[in-house]
Structure 1
Amino acid sequence: MASCGVLRLFLGLLLLVCLQWRLAASSLLHFRNHYHNNLSHHHQGHLIQANKTCALFVGSWIRDETYPLYQSSDCPIIDQEFNCQVNGRPDSDYLKYRWQPLDCELPRFNGIEFLLNMRRKTVMFVGDSLGRNQWQSLICMIYSAVPRAKIQMVRGDPLSTFSFLDYEVTLSFYRSPYLIDVDLMGGKKILRLDEVDGNGEAWRNADVLSFNTGHWWTHQGSLQGWDYVELRGKFYPDMDRLAALEIGLKTWANWVDVNIDRSRTKVFFQAISPTHYNPREWNGIGTTETTTKNCYGETAPIRSTTYPGAYPKQMRILEMVIREMARPAYLLDITMLSALRKDGHPSIYSGDLSAHQRANPDFSADCSHWCLPGLPDTWNQLFYTALFL
């Protein structure tokens, strides 16, 4: 009888242990599901890792000899304007820097894990050429992990796609510099501040959407992308650009809230990518003085956690609009960390410039886009971390 009592006690303890394990596993599963299902609400860039909060977008650049994550010669999709090494850039130290958040380690990008997690799904970047910069970077980072994978590439306008056929993963770029409609009327380009639908039909079925805009709103003269602005049926030859950006972003945000099923689609917004056309913003802050009027000749990041120049006014509008969304997009807040990388632009090593243009960097240097490999690879490390971890 005593042995039966001991057996019953043992079985009871075993049952209790099993029950506690199942409850713990259930709680962990609930936490992971809750986190991933509510990813869009964490638009401050905070992740829980090892029971502490990690501010992903605050930190500094440190040298790392294991970088870059791929070689430009091994990637089949880099546009010439981003391919700085092929275009003759003589220095390469700009490729050797890794972003280090202040209070945690940024996970190293794993292309195979990305493909496995996104099997039979579509990631779509929507925006201007900075979005295309990031799209191509992500393709290169993944392709370097599976160089013999079957691929399919279709270039078009506005939609281009790159598919990893073995995994049924498609990475798309949809060109929409303003995220709202630009229509032709009587031979004139009309920027419709309260219309998205002409663009949005192509976005609805993506599993992950990453939007960006910003630079085109400031263009003037021959670079301006529209002839008239339309708002509530009235046409204007021009208006305050920040006011136009705010109205356009609110139109986009309302469209996303109404039309995107957030139970199946994760929505990101890439913060404003900074430019480096004014050396007065960084000279004298532990850097070498230059005689040029832009980023030409810059070969190292700013050694600081903050940028000494002006914070983009567009960012304050973007932060406000996202905060007011019914379900805020995840803000991939790359502005400050990118501002520290004055060395990362193509400068005169962009596309097919003439000898005369290369001899005059004050007028021809590209200090808006970024070299590949380069800074957009870090954007995608952060994107990867926010998406999966």
Structure 2
Amino acid sequence: MICETTRRSCGVLIVVAAAAVAMLAALSCGVGPANAGGGVNGNAGRQQRQLKAGSGGGSSGGCSNLNLYEGSWVYDQAYPPYDSSSCPFIAKEFDCLKFGRPDRRYLQYRWQPGGGCNLPRYYMNGNNKKENLGGCRFEGEKFLRRMEGKKMMFVGDSLSMNQYESLLCMLHAAVSNSNITRQSQPYLSTATFQDYGVSIMLFTSHYLVDIEEQEIGRVLKLDSISDATSRLWRQMDFLVFNTWAWWYRTGPQKGWDYVQDGETISEDMDRMLAFKRALTTWAKWVEANVNAAKTTVFFQGASPSHYNGTEWGKPGLRDCSHETDPVLPPEASNLAVGGAVSLALQAQQDAIKSIHHPILFLNITGLSHLRKDGHPSSHSGLARLDCTHWCIAGVPDAWNQLLYTTILDQPSTPAPFF
């Protein structure tokens, strides 16, 4: 059962803090290779080694923090893990089947880490029951029990919204008869699983630093995170930060009119420099405000878009239209993330290195780079081509399986990484 209420809040500044990179804890439930068909080799391992900041722990399941992201997209006829038509949380931007996407193969790839690791794996049978396919199931109810009484907040842009809605669909499929309430405020959405006291939240903050309405217009303040935002973030048990996709937007899609760097206000500045300034502000906020004994901090790596076929071995293509499969071998083994995204990842790494608190990095960039087939393209409720966001069900489900695995691998009581 789902109840929805809408509230209006007193003006809260648009804020966002900016990103960072570090180690992801190891997988706890891998028990050997899964039985499945053809794989799609990823180059995520190369990226992870380049981005490594700090060190991660081992795992009884035999999976290191490196090979969670070094692996293959495997075609699996039992996928997708849930029926998107039964999920009430999907925004029209991501509801590809509802808006006429004719193919289904993009739904049937799951991420398979290397080295014998298994991410959680299940599907819904004809009676809407989960069937165990070997390895370790994604058990939504187990996740909710582990999270009992806790609050998780995704903080970021529309890619955070992608991941937030995917997680809600995965949990709803597991406990569809549970009492779920929804609240919506400006910049804040909350779904509470009342039977478990678990709240999953989305705080929209494209840049992770403040945007302030002033007489001259909207001012992006690269060195500011408001007290109101800070108080809200500090209440969370889990914070999943993300920012990148909006930093190079121009014209009407740009989210600000002026940018303030220190005492200097200008109409624009070098965007990568602005991104780095915001990341520094975010890192300082984490350092000063996060109690590592209470709050676990994640950062979701940059999500790649697919508007240039050269990036996936098809020069001449200008978008993701008509793509129905991931990048296949042998091209996949040599496909590296480049351009501005690689610079963003380096900037995130530098910000993370400045933080003494442990940050868990969801390194989704490399594995998502292979999924040029996973975008809405022209099949969304928006009147534009979209090769930036992701269909639900789809690629964000793998992001959440990695998130789920990491959380379940943490100790039950507060510790340095929990």
**TM-score, length of structure 1 as denominator length:** 0.82
The equivalent residue for 1:107 is 120
Q: Distance in 2 between matches of 1:195 and 1:292?
A: 40
Q: Distance in 1 between matches of 2:208 and 2:382?
A: 29
Q: Identity over the aligned pairs, expressed in percent?
A: 42
- CA drift of 1:66 comes to 1.4
Q: Distance in 2 between matches of 1:91 and 1:59?
A: 25
The equivalent residue for 2:4 is none
Match among 239, 244, 249 for residue 279 of structure 2: 249
Residues 217-232 of structure 1 mapped to structure 2, 5 A cutoff: 217-232=247-262
The equivalent residue for 1:28 is none
Farther-moved stretch of structure 1 (219-228 vs 119-128): 219-228
Residues 49-198 of structure 1 mapped to structure 2, 5 A cutoff: 49-51=60-62, 53-54=64-65, 55-103=67-115, 104-108=117-121, 109-198=138-227
Q: Distance in 2 between matches of 1:338 and 1:194?
A: 31
Which secondary structure does the structure 1 equivalent of 2:171 belong to? helix
Q: Distance in 2 between matches of 1:339 and 1:128?
A: 19
Q: Distance in 1 between matches of 2:101 and 2:355?
A: 43
Farther-moved stretch of structure 1 (191-200 vs 209-218): 191-200
Instruction: Report the AA paired with residue 131 of structure 1.
Output: S
Contact conserved, 2:219 with 2:260, CA < 8 A, in 1? yes
Which secondary structure does the structure 1 equivalent of 2:152 belong to? strand
Which secondary structure does the structure 2 equivalent of 1:82 belong to? coil
Farther-moved stretch of structure 1 (243-252 vs 101-110): 101-110
2:320 is the counterpart of 1:295: yes
Which secondary structure does the structure 2 equivalent of 1:78 belong to? coil
Which secondary structure does the structure 2 equivalent of 1:294 belong to? coil
Which secondary structure does the structure 2 equivalent of 1:387 belong to? helix
Match among 377, 383, 387 for residue 403 of structure 2: 383
Q: Structure 1 runs of 4+ off > 3 angstroms?
A: 41-47, 49-52
The equivalent residue for 1:374 is 394
Contact conserved, 1:83 with 1:371, CA < 8 A, in 2? yes
Contact conserved, 2:53 with 2:349, CA < 8 A, in 1? no
Which secondary structure does the structure 2 equivalent of 1:48 belong to? coil
How many residues are treated as equivalent by the alignment?
336
Q: Distance in 2 between matches of 1:299 and 1:51?
A: 33
Higher helix residue share: 1
2:368 is the counterpart of 1:338: yes
- CA drift of 1:352 comes to 4.1
Which secondary structure does the structure 2 equivalent of 1:80 belong to? coil
Instruction: Report the AA paired with residue 245 of structure 1.
Output: F
Q: Distance in 2 between matches of 1:352 and 1:335?
A: 25
The equivalent residue for 2:269 is 239
Instruction: Show CA shifts across 1:4-63 (max 9, x none).
Output: xxxxxxxxxxxxxxxxxxxxxxxxxxxx9xx9xxxxx98767652335535211111010
Contact conserved, 2:220 with 2:258, CA < 8 A, in 1? yes
**Structure 2 gap ranges (5+):** 1-24, 29-51, 122-137, 410-418
Contact conserved, 2:310 with 2:317, CA < 8 A, in 1? no
Distance 1:45 1:217, change over 3 A: farther
Q: Distance in 1 between matches of 2:197 and 2:54?
A: 29
Farther-moved stretch of structure 1 (232-241 vs 174-183): 232-241
Q: Distance in 1 between matches of 2:62 and 2:396?
A: 29
**TM-score, length of structure 2 as denominator length:** 0.77
Q: Distance in 2 between matches of 1:106 and 1:279?
A: 30
**Structure 1 gap ranges (5+):** 1-31, 36-40, 354-363
Q: Distance in 2 between matches of 1:126 and 1:306?
A: 33
The equivalent residue for 2:311 is 281
Q: Distance in 1 between matches of 2:58 and 2:394?
A: 24
Contact conserved, 1:188 with 1:228, CA < 8 A, in 2? yes
Q: Distance in 1 between matches of 2:337 and 2:192?
A: 40
Instruction: Show CA shifts across 1:100-131 (max 9, x none).
Output: 11112223321011100000111100000000
Whose relative contact order is higher, 1 or 2, with alpha carbons under 8 Å and at least 6 apart? Answer: 2
Distance 1:44 1:216, change over 3 A: farther
Q: Distance in 1 between matches of 2:61 and 2:376?
A: 38
The equivalent residue for 1:351 is 381
The equivalent residue for 1:310 is 338
Instruction: Report the AA paired with residue 96 of structure 2.
Output: C
Distance 1:46 1:378, change over 3 A: farther
Instruction: Report the AA paired with residue 106 of structure 1.
Output: L
Q: Which has the larger radius of gyration?
A: 1
